[in-house]
């Protein structure tokens, strides 16, 4: 697992007074994240990277102020610490640089302190956004980006033909972080298909999967498997070995030459962490013997099968004497509001216990609220995915995030 360590900014002379260079035309938007809490910095970076925005993380305003000499950010998330003077100095520094950026203050402090710092920023003619009170969730961050119109625009409400998208090479795969809930570490990533349409931009699977033909789904599944193996090798070249997950329908999985594809395209098997193939629970239980046979067949290749969208077939899964599946992934419909829902909470706990009974791991899908994440931790759930923990992001964005983490670890080790 990869530790979500902070990234220290590049250093510059403290007495530099020249204006920072403007970003080159068509440069990726950049956001500075200032907070003494590493978990807040990492959370914001995950969300922002998923929205197509680069980030630099700083533990205090002084470090951010030094970085202002290098590039003008498009947006600054700045926490107001106990000593609000640090935030005030940052507002003054931003004003002196005449930076054309927006500032999002965030804090759990009283309204008077927040308004004081905000007013200082306004006096410096900085674009000050409404103060964000902690704790906040992913939705609040996304709304800020939508208001400012930076990052990746929302997917268009269109319908695409999957066969056409495949033939015209519009399909690509984005990766959503998978987080070890108790340790708050990056433990893997799951691949999700996207279509990059020349007019409509990024389009989600809901636009091209519902009416897809069986042949097109099979072709997409093969592409997903090959692309994920290629991405796994790219990540390993960065020195980060993450076990990736790919979704493949049961009918397609039974037809694909999985063994041949994996042997031909997997990274060095000596240090490769392997691959997980997700298959929906409702499809697995229709033919458990075949599903178990495939799972055992793939094991020597370091390829495991997981039960996706789980929670409705407990009795069937509990009756298995042998359990060849590596994970039980809780359906997002049950994870939602599990902190308070009297039906979802015990169901989630039962499925987590079932996974642990077989010596397997449990994954909570679709975590969008902090109370639900805490509930999953208290229930003993091993991993989590969802907008709260990180949005799906294009492969180059995910690699950028991995490099950021790798640079932080290297600097921490040197220090």
Domain ranges for the chain, please list them.
2-153, 162-384
Instruction: Tell me what pLDDT residue 98 has.
Output: 65
The closest of 72, 30, 65 to 48, measured between CA atoms, is: 30
pLDDT 10s digits, 37-50: 988 898 898 889 88
Determine the CATH number of domain 2-153: 3.40.50.2300
In DSSP terms, 58 is beta-bridged to 34
d(CA 118, CA 129): 8
What gap in Å lies between CA 68 and CA 32, rounded to an integer?
Answer: 9
Q: What is the pLDDT of residues 235-249, one digit of tens each?
A: 888 777 899 999 999
Predicted pLDDT at 201: 87
Q: For position 408, what pLDDT does the model report?
A: 64
Q: Does domain 162-384 have CATH number 3.30.420.40?
A: no
Residue 90 pLDDT: 94
Q: What pLDDT shows up at residue 135? A: 85
CA distance 323 to 77: 46
Q: What is the pLDDT of residue 187?
A: 93
pLDDT < 70 regions, the chain: 1-26, 98-99, 154-156, 405-413, 415
pLDDT digits (tens, 9 = 90+) for 280-327: 999 999 999 999 999 999 999 999 999 999 999 999 999 988 899 999
Cβ atoms of residues 179 and 389 within 8 Å:
yes
Predicted local distance difference test score (pLDDT) of residue 177: 93
């Amino acid at each position: 697992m990869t530790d979500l360590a902070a990234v220290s900014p590049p250093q510059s002379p403290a007495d530099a007074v020249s204006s920072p260079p403007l970003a080159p035309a068509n440069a990726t938007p950049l956001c500075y994240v200032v907070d003494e809490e590493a978990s807040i910095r990492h959370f914001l970076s995950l969300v922002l990277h998923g929205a197509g925005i680069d980030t630099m993380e700083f533990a205090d305003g002084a470090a951010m102020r030094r970085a202002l000499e290098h590039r003008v950010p498009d947006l600054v998330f700045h926490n107001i610490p106990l000593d609000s003077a640090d935030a005030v100095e940052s507002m003054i520094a931003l004003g002196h640089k005449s930076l054309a950026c927006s500032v999002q203050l965030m804090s759990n402090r009283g309204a008077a302190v927040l308004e004081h710092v905000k007013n200082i920023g306004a006096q410096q003619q900085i674009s000050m956004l409404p103060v964000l009170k902690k704790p906040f969730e992913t939705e609040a961050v996304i709304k800020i980006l939508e208001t400012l119109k930076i990052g990746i625009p929302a997917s268009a409400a269109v319908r695409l033909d999957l066969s056409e998208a495949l033939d015209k090479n519009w399909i690509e795969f984005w990766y959503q972080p998978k987080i070890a809930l108790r340790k708050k570490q990056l433990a893997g990533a799951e691949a999700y298909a996207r279509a990059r349409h020349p007019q409509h931009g990024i389009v989600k699977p809901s636009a091209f999967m519902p009416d897809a033909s069986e042949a097109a789904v099979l072709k997409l599944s093969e592409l997903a498997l090959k692309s994920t193996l290629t991405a796994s090798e790219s990540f390993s070249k960065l020195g980060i070995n993450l076990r990736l997950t790919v979704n493949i329908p049961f009918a397609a999985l039974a037809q694909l030459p999985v063994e041949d594809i994996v042997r031909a395209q997997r990274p060095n098997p000596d240090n490769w962490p392997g691959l997980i193939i997700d298959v929906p629970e409702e499809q697995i239980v229709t033919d458990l013997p075949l599903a178990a046979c495939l799972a055992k067949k793939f094991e020597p290749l370091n390829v495991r099968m997981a039960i996706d969208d789980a929670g409705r077939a407990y009795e069937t899964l509990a009756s298995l004497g042998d359990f060849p599946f590596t994970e039980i992934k809780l359906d997002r419909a049950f994870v939602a509001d599990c902190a308070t829902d009297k039906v979802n909470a015990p169901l989630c706990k039962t499925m987590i216990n079932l996974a642990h009974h077989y010596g397997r791991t449990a994954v909570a899908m679709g975590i969008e609220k902090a109370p639900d994440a805490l509930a999953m931790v208290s229930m003993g759930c091993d991993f989590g995915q969802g907008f709260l923990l990180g949005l799906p992001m294009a492969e180059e964005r995910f690699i950028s995030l991995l490099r950021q983490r790798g640079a932080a670890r290297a600097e921490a080790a040197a220090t």
